[in-house]
């Protein structure tokens, strides 16, 4: 028996705009140049550092994050949190993967990398500090 009507937990504009919450809202990035380097700030809220993987392959920097769903014996009225794998790729050119630096604090991934030098590289995984 439901004591609270489900519509009380809906956002006002959910049904009006018919825009479902999606995983496209995850991993928003800002890329800028500072001190001769490219810098990227990417929001990855709700993840731990161990859930994030960064790879560099043929000039592409790929950031992925995976979150497993915790099975709970609950009857949800509204469920907006997403589980699964998220991924973004950016072409940054052929650079030395050893010069790519990554830090993750409070849901914000910060990457620093130089401009392309035209050097050929193979696939590498970048360690988050």
- How does DSSP assign the chain, residue by residue? --SS-GGGGS-TTHHHHT----GGGS--EEEEEETTEEEEEEE-TT--GGGEEEEEETTEEEEEEEEPPPP-----S------EEEEEEEE--S--GGG-EEEEETTEEEEEEPPP-------EEEPP-
Assigned architecture for domain 26-69+79-126: Sandwich (2.60)
Domain boundaries, the chain: 26-69+79-126
Along the chain (129 residues), what's the average pLDDT of each consecutive run of 10 residues? 50 46 70 92 92 92 90 83 87 88 96 77 75
The pLDDT assigned to 32 comes to 92
């Amino acid at each position: 028996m439901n004591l609270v009507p489900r519509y009380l937990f809906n956002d006002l504009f959910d049904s009006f705009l018919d825009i479902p919450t999606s995983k496209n809202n995850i991993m928003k990035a800002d890329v800028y140049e500072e001190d001769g380097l490219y810098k990227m700030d990417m929001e990855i809220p709700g993840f731990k550092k161990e859930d994030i993987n960064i790879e560099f392959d043929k000039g592409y920097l790929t950031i992925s994050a995976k979150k497993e769903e915790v099975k709970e014996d609950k009857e949800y009225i509204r469920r907006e949190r997403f589980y699964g794998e998220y991924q973004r790729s950016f072409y940054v050119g052929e650079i030395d993967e050893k010069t790519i630096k990554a830090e993750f604090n409070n849901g914000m991934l910060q990457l620093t990398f130089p401009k392309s030098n035209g050097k050929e590289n193979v696939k590498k995984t970048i360690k988050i500090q």
